[in-house]
Amino acid sequence: MANPPAVVKLALESVCELLSETATDWKAIRGILVKDSFIPSIVNLKTENITDEVREKMKNKYLSNPDYNFEKVNRASMACGPMVKWAIAQIEYADMLKRVEPLREELRSLEEQADVNLQSANETKELVEQLERSIAAYKEEYAQLISQAQAIKTDLENVQAKVDRSIALLKSLNIERERWECTSETFKSQMSTIIGDVLLSAAFIAYGGYFDQHYRLNLFTTWSQHLQSANIQYRSDMARTEYLSNPDERLRWQANALPTDDLCTENAIMLKRFNRYPLIIDPSGQATTFLLNEYAGKKITKTSFLDDSFRKNLESALRFGNPLLVQDVENYDPILNPVLNRELRRTGGRVLITLGDQDIDLSPSFVIFLSTRDPTVEFPPDICSRVTFVNFTVTRSSLQSQCLNQVLKAERPDIDEKRSDLLKLQGEFRLRLRQLEKSLLQALNDAKGKILDDDSVITTLETLKKEAYDINQKVDETDKVIAEIETVSQQYLPLSVACSNIYFTMDSLNQVHFLYQYSLKMFLDIFSTVLYNNTKLDGKTEYSERLSIVTKDLFQVCYERVARGMLHNDRLTFALLMCKIHLKGTSEQNLDSEFNFFLRSREGLLANAIPVDGLTAEQIESVNRLQTRLPIFRKLIEKLKSMPEIGAWLQQSSPEQCVPQLWDESKALTPIVSSIHQLLLIQAFRPDRVIAAAHKVVDAVLGLDFMPNAEKELDLAAVVEKQLNCNTPALLCSVPGFDASGRVDDLAAELNKQISSIAIGSAEGFNQAERAINMACKSGRWVLLKNVHLAPQWLVQLEKKLHSLQPHSGFRLFLTMEINPKVPVNLLRAGRIFVFEPPPGIRANLLRTFSTVPVARMMKTPSERARLYFLLAWFHAIVQERLRYVPLGWAKKYEFNESDLRVACDTLDTWIDTTAMGRTNLPPEKVPWDALVTLLSQSIYGGKIDNDFDQRLLTSFLKKLFTARSFESDFALVANVDGGAGGQRHITMPDGTRRDHFLKWIENLSDRQTPSWLGLPNNAEKVLLTTRGTDLVSKLLKMQQLEDDDELAYSVEEHAEAANASATRQEDGRPSWMKTLHNSATAWLELLPKNLPVLKRTVENIKDPLYRYFEREVTSGAKLLTTVISDLQDVVLICQGEKKQTNHHRSMLSELVRGIIPKGWKRYTVPVGCTVIQWITDFSNRVQQLQKVSKLV
């Protein structure tokens, strides 16, 4: 720009003036502008450098000029506008600096003064620090002086303390020396017997586990005898549980749910000290619970040989060392053989084991336990050689101990606490003493320098002394505590003995019927209910009163729960067994001889029987046996002869209600003893009233309401809610033709429960059942499986599945079945059994038939069909009811059931439909009577009959009923009997042709029937009752168990005498079953003929067929007689201790004790349920008959 506006020029001049550039004209100004330093000089201008002269000049020359402002200059030049603004700002800022200059000068002066003061302060601080260092040095010097003085004082105190400590140490060590010297003497004694003790203990662990407590004691005693004969010393009083385990371990085991009895403690020792992996026999599940608790910290894994993940669990346990519990070992998988054999290989520092086709690293902490719940399983020798058996099968004494502990915890917690303290005294306190002794030795060993300078030694010694004194004080009080515990325990001992006897009686009921299987868990649940959930104990504080209530309720609840699962005819058997158990725990006189006579009154020979007028030969024999065998009846015949009213009493319908006192009256008898004696008299004089007399015995012993309470209608709802749980299935067992599933459906509807019902019998049903159970276990629904007896093999798997489930608390499983021997025992033991059987009698049978046949089927045309159905129902009832009177009703017990009725109905429908050809009526003469009679007599019902007389009898019933005359109004179903409708002498066919007509007639029929209704003589009922009485005795004989299993046949003292001097055994050393069997075998040998001469064969008589028949019979009889006599002689020798038992003998003894005929004697057919006593008598008669034949031929 050659000539800029004046304002531009003025602006640039002011800028040049500020920059101290001389510019008088525009050219000079432009020269300044084009310089490279122009812009940086503006940017870097320091306001402080503007002089007062320049500032004043700027103010006077430029800032005072009205044209010198931003707006005007900016309009002229947008580049110069900001410069003007900058110049004005600089001048204003310079003015401000000018105004604050005095203050700045003052600030600079103060800063200079501060620097001077800071320097002075530093010098003062340095002086203070120097003074403080001097003071610290003086203090340290003073402290050293004080410390030296204190050290001198401390040395004086330490010397005095050492003097006192040395005196105390010498005194304490002297006391310990005396105690340790005593312990040393005990140790010397233990060392002298250590070889024998270790040998016995090792043998016990290796071989004793398989046996129950009784045989273990026998085995241990026998081993001890051998050591004694070999002059090897051993501790005669050695307690295996204390020798092989310490108290701390036993306390821990009990805390982990191990029962407190010796058997379980011994088993726990074996589970810890095994060499070969254990195989546990655990019917009650107590060992499984203990192991899961004991190894919970090591994450034990539970699996099964039936589990799909078994191999995976096994491999995992092998690798990582987790304990493994394998159940259901009866389904053993050979893949486990290398593990049990410990077939290990070492490769490159690795320990390998071959499992199948792969090598697996073996963890050193791996351990495996095999278990089975089936005590009857027999393992092959190869498995037996690989494992250590540990048998947790409960014994009488072990269960008695468990129940005693449980009742003391519930009823006398104070005594239970004292028992625990006593155990701690023997356990924890003694263990603490040993630990302190070790601590003392360790402290003495670790003492550094002089022993008097080590406080830990003195402290340990003082603690040991104090606690040893406390323990000795408690030991001194032990006798008093033990006496108190023993006194209280004796009060509850009869209850615990009763518990043990009740359970083992329940466990043996399968001798009566295969269905009666009960687990230990079921009994313990009953016992817990009586102890802890008993409303009768509320408000009762007297111990004796509470004990009486618990005892009574134990018997009552046990009977009620067991009886619900028994056939009606078997309940009295169980009730009498309960009576016998109850009497053992009371103050009543010993009635074993009376009970034994009741069961075995027919044994032995009876010589010189005294005749009595008015009695039958059988009654005379019974009277003479009663008089000669029981002292209280020693004047029986004399009393009979002096009582002319005996004849009238024998003819009474209920003689058990007023039995004459025919026993010794020298002392007063209690009602219980009197009822037993009355039972024996009824058995002798009126065997048909034995059942009624036995009921009176139960009433006398256990109360009038004992049996009736169990006869009440089953309250299934109460049972399901209070007695069952999700792990206990309900087994609804019924006789063929009776369906109990309806009760479950009604119950589910009543309680508003969802239920899945599935019929079993096909593969599809199995799958549906498993799915339903799996779903119900999660949701808590109910499942009903019907007719499970059709699939016994599947039930085995179902039981194992149920055992491994962890179901919802609301889950319930119901199984309906017909009573079938193929149902698995474990399932019966795991569940709660309920037996449903129809009431006896014609009326009940007819009602059951009419409820089975649908209404529509019976009312189909022709109208005569309903009348024919009634005839068939009556015939079916007659056929079935006569089965109750076998062998009078039929020669044998044929299996006439509902299946026969269904087939007969189908046959009837087929022939009637064919004959009627759709007509609504069919004349009676047109009915195919002959066809129906033939089919029913020859095929449907008659096909099961193999006796000619029974066949004729069946045909006669059919011909009498199935005739055209049956459509007449006065047709007699049964003639000349009591009980007909309206008091008539005949039971006539009801009028009408409709179902409801017949049903009403049936409902009005009398409940009580006489045998003549069935075509039997009126005394058939007497025969039936006599048979039932005989069956009762037979069942009781089968239940005759080895009640003193846990007794030794020889005491320890007797064994010692036998080893040292071959002393003869004492009679009192034998268990009661052996004494009884010895007497019985002796009596049987006297009853049997000594020999049976065989027939001599000649050339002539061999040609006679009749001779050859008798020769075979006599020869067979002679061989069997030789066998029986030889076996009985062996039994006598075994009972006398003069012969050792073989497996054959053990089996035979077991059968004879229970009244069962040994298998080796069953060479001819005998009636079902025949006892060995009956068999011996029958066999003796047969042999005597053959002897007569031998003399005649």
For the stretch 102-119, pLDDT in tens is: 888 888 889 889 989 999
pLDDT score of 1045 more than 70: no
Structure confidence at residue 1069 (pLDDT): 53
Helix axes 1020-1038, 592-600, angle to 10 degrees: 120
- How far is it, in rounded angstroms, from Cα 392 to Cα 396? 12
Average pLDDT over residues 1123-1146: 90
Structure confidence at residue 232 (pLDDT): 92
Q: Exposed e or buried b for every residue in 805-838, given b needs 16+ CB within 10 A?
A: eebeeebbbbbbbbbeeebbbbbbbbbbbbbbee
Structure confidence at residue 75 (pLDDT): 82
Greater pLDDT, 426 or 248? 248
Structure confidence at residue 101 (pLDDT): 82
Nearest in space to 609 (alpha carbons), one of 648, 636, 631: 636
Greater pLDDT, 29 or 276? 276
Structure confidence at residue 267 (pLDDT): 94
- How far is it, in rounded angstroms, from Cα 26 to Cα 8? 10
Structure confidence at residue 1055 (pLDDT): 39
Residue with tokens 């103050």: 587
> Which ranges constitute the DSSP H helices of 284-395?
286-294, 310-320, 337-341, 381-384
Least confident of 233-247, 601-615, 704-718, 805-819: 601-615
DSSP character at residue 277: P
Structure confidence at residue 1 (pLDDT): 57
Structure confidence at residue 981 (pLDDT): 46
Structure confidence at residue 1152 (pLDDT): 86
Nearest in space to 455 (alpha carbons), one of 153, 155, 161, 157: 161
- How far is it, in rounded angstroms, from Cα 280 to Cα 329? 9
- How far is it, in rounded angstroms, from Cα 92 to Cα 63? 10
Instruction: Give φ, ψ of 389 to 5 degrees.
Output: -75, 140
Question: Is the distance from CB of 406 to CB of 526 less than 8 angstroms?
Answer: no
Structure confidence at residue 550 (pLDDT): 94
Nearest in space to 856 (alpha carbons), one of 905, 897, 899: 905
Least confident of 223-232, 331-340, 915-924: 915-924
Are 6-172 and 1069-1192 in the same CATH fold? no
- How far is it, in rounded angstroms, from Cα 62 to Cα 496? 129
**If pLDDT is split at 50, 70 and 90, which confidence band does 1054 have?**
very low
Least confident of 582-591, 943-952, 1101-1110, 1111-1120: 582-591
Nearest in space to 622 (alpha carbons), one of 642, 643, 603: 603
For the stretch 1012-1021, pLDDT in tens is: 888 888 788 8
pLDDT score of 1048 more than 70: no
Mean pLDDT score of the chain: 85
- How far is it, in rounded angstroms, from Cα 829 to Cα 811? 19
Average pLDDT over residues 148-167: 82
Tokens of 168: 């105390």
pLDDT score of 170 more than 80: no
Greater pLDDT, 1134 or 67? 1134
Q: Going along 619-773, which residue ranges are E strands?
A: 730-734, 755-759
Nearest in space to 1156 (alpha carbons), one of 1068, 1046, 1041: 1041
Q: Where are the domains of the chain?
A: 6-172, 274-393, 591-665+672-684, 724-836, 842-1018, 1069-1192
- How far is it, in rounded angstroms, from Cα 955 to Cα 942? 8
Structure confidence at residue 74 (pLDDT): 82
pLDDT score of 268 more than 60: yes
Average pLDDT over residues 619-644: 88
Bridge partners, residue 304, by sequence: 327
For the stretch 503-527, pLDDT in tens is: 999 998 988 899 999 999 999 999 9
Nearest in space to 1118 (alpha carbons), one of 1182, 1071, 1054: 1182
Structure confidence at residue 154 (pLDDT): 86
Residue with tokens 């530093």: 122
- How far is it, in rounded angstroms, from Cα 812 to Cα 805? 12
Question: What residues contact 505, with CB distance under 8 A and at least 6 apart?
Answer: 574, 577, 578, 581, 1039, 1041
- How far is it, in rounded angstroms, from Cα 1119 to Cα 508? 34
Greater pLDDT, 1088 or 470? 1088
pLDDT score of 453 more than 80: no
For the stretch 204-254, pLDDT in tens is: 999 999 988 778 888 888 899 999 999 999 988 888 888 898 877 888 898
Cα–Cα distance list, 250 to 264, 408, 842 (Å): 10, 20, 64
- How far is it, in rounded angstroms, from Cα 360 to Cα 344? 10
Structure confidence at residue 428 (pLDDT): 62
Question: What residues contact 507, with CB distance under 8 A and at least 6 apart?
Answer: 518
Indicate the fold that domain 842-1018 takes in CATH: Helicase, Ruva Protein; domain 3 (1.10.8)
pLDDT score of 430 more than 90: no
Average pLDDT over residues 409-422: 81
85 alpha-carbon distance from chain centroid: 107
Does domain 274-393 fall into CATH 3.40.50.300? yes
Nearest in space to 369 (alpha carbons), one of 387, 355, 385: 387
**If pLDDT is split at 50, 70 and 90, which confidence band does 1058 have?**
very low
Cα–Cα distance list, 291 to 262, 368, 745, 934 (Å): 17, 11, 40, 67
Q: How many CA atoms lie within 13 A of 684 on its CB side?
A: 24
Tokens of 322: 């987790």
Nearest in space to 362 (alpha carbons), one of 349, 375, 373: 349
Structure confidence at residue 606 (pLDDT): 66
Greater pLDDT, 74 or 1183? 1183
Q: Which 3 state secondary structure label does DSSP give 299?
A: coil
For the stretch 826-878, pLDDT in tens is: 899 999 999 988 778 888 888 888 887 888 888 888 888 888 999 999 999 99
- Which among 457-471, 665-679, 930-944, 1146-1160 has the top mean pLDDT? 930-944
Helix axes 571-584, 690-702, angle to 10 degrees: 40
pLDDT score of 682 more than 80: yes
Cα–Cα distance list, 55 to 95, 471, 1112 (Å): 8, 111, 165
Least confident of 451-465, 724-738, 908-922, 1041-1055: 1041-1055
DSSP character at residue 1077: H
- How far is it, in rounded angstroms, from Cα 946 to Cα 892? 9
Structure confidence at residue 1063 (pLDDT): 37
Average pLDDT over residues 728-743: 83
Structure confidence at residue 1065 (pLDDT): 38
- How far is it, in rounded angstroms, from Cα 812 to Cα 154? 81
For the stretch 51-89, pLDDT in tens is: 878 878 888 878 878 878 888 878 878 878 888 888 888
- How far is it, in rounded angstroms, from Cα 87 to Cα 396? 122
Residue with tokens 């029958």: 1178
Structure confidence at residue 174 (pLDDT): 74
**If pLDDT is split at 50, 70 and 90, which confidence band does 454 have?**
low
Greater pLDDT, 449 or 328? 328
Average pLDDT over residues 959-965: 91
For the stretch 358-413, pLDDT in tens is: 889 999 999 999 999 888 888 889 899 999 999 998 888 889 988 998 898 889 88
- How far is it, in rounded angstroms, from Cα 814 to Cα 748? 11
Greater pLDDT, 246 or 930? 930
Query: Which one is the CATH code of 724-836: 3.30.300.20, 2.60.40.680, 3.40.50.300, 3.40.50.1400?
Result: 3.40.50.300
Q: Going along 523-605, which residue ranges are E strands?
A: none
For the stretch 564-600, pLDDT in tens is: 999 999 999 999 999 999 998 777 778 888 888 898 8
For the stretch 761-799, pLDDT in tens is: 888 889 999 999 999 999 999 999 999 999 999 998 898
- How far is it, in rounded angstroms, from Cα 897 to Cα 1024? 21
- How far is it, in rounded angstroms, from Cα 256 to Cα 250? 10
Indicate the fold that domain 6-172 takes in CATH: Histone Acetyltransferase; Chain A (1.20.920)
Indicate the fold that domain 1069-1192 takes in CATH: Substrate Binding Domain Of Dnak; Chain:A; Domain 2 (1.20.1270)
Question: Is the distance from CB of 709 to CB of 703 less than 8 angstroms?
Answer: no
Element (H, E) at 211: none
Nearest in space to 789 (alpha carbons), one of 801, 777, 798, 776: 798
